[in-house]
Amino acid sequence: MLSVKDLHVSYGGIRALRGININIEQNKIVTLIGANGAGKSSALRAIMGLVKAEKGSIKYDDRELLGKSTKNIVKMGISLVPEGRKVFSNLTVEENLILGAYTRNDKETIKKDIERQYELFPRLKERSWQKAGTLSGGEQQMLAVARGLMIRPKLLMMDEPSLGLAPLLVKDIFEIIKEIHRQGNTILLVEQNAKKALEIADYGYVLETGQLILEGEGKELLNNPKVQEAYLGEM
Ligand code: ATP
């Protein structure tokens, strides 16, 4: 479905990605793990057309994404839930969801999809008229995910959805990711919580200073001593 080849991204002199290759098959959960500054967000931003790649290719169903506008990439069915719960604070929960569907104009199905998000996130339903800025951190994160689903993505990319959440909410978020996957979505998950991410992932990539150092099935990476030592706080 998505095939990233030899992707390079730089910011001025900083080489954030130095030639990475990632493959995502339909209906899989793929995770990208790595320490702070490894280049994880840069990879997602490049796929979304939010930063320019210096070199490489990003094929989505055999169509090249590099050079396309973010709006077109969204229209092709890719959605990004950015890091840090970037919801529109002054708008209500429901207005945020409506805006999530900005590339669509099928009013009736948009309504139905809002109801679907409320089924997935009952907390948001109770708070549909609340200003997003007054939601708790966890609720804002859920809203960010629900909004990402409003474009009916074929590929949903999430940048550290568990960041800063209390352990119980982290568990909830991972349950929700599994449920979204069960409903037929393909997911690219960027996480610092390597253990949880690898537990649910079909396949994983480990990024270190802009380069992939390991890849394999989620369970395989979980049992890899190198991964355990560097990312799982074990050994
Ligand atoms: P984190 O887990 O901390 O979010 P990350 O793996 O997502 O990290 P990136 O955000 O992709 O890493 O950053 C990779 C490198 O690129 C870092 O050294 C970072 O400082 C740098 N970088 C990212 N964005 C910019 C920017 N807009 N301008 C300059 N440097 C940047």
Per-residue pLDDT tens over the stretch 202-229: 999 999 999 999 999 999 999 998 888 8
Check if the beta carbon of residue 188 is closer than 8 Å to that of residue 3.
Answer: no
CA 207 to ligand 1: nearest atom: 6
pLDDT in tens, 48-61: 999 999 999 999 99
pLDDT for residue 69 is more than 80: yes
Question: Sign of the C-alpha dihedral, residues 196, 16, 21, 213?
Answer: negative
Q: How far apart are CA 93 and CA 102, in angstroms?
A: 15
Global confidence as pTM: 0.91
pLDDT band at 104 (very low <50, low <70, confident <90, very high): confident
Ligand 1 centre from 210 Cα, in Å? 10
Written as one letter, the residue type at 70 is: T
pLDDT for residue 92 is more than 80: yes
Residues with CB under 6 A from ligand 1: 11, 14, 16, 34, 36-42, 192
pLDDT for residue 235 is more than 70: no
Q: Could you give the residue ranges of the DSSP H alpha helices within the chain?
A: 40-47, 70-75, 93-100, 107-120, 122-126, 137-149, 167-182, 194-200, 218-222, 225-231
ipTM over 0.90: yes
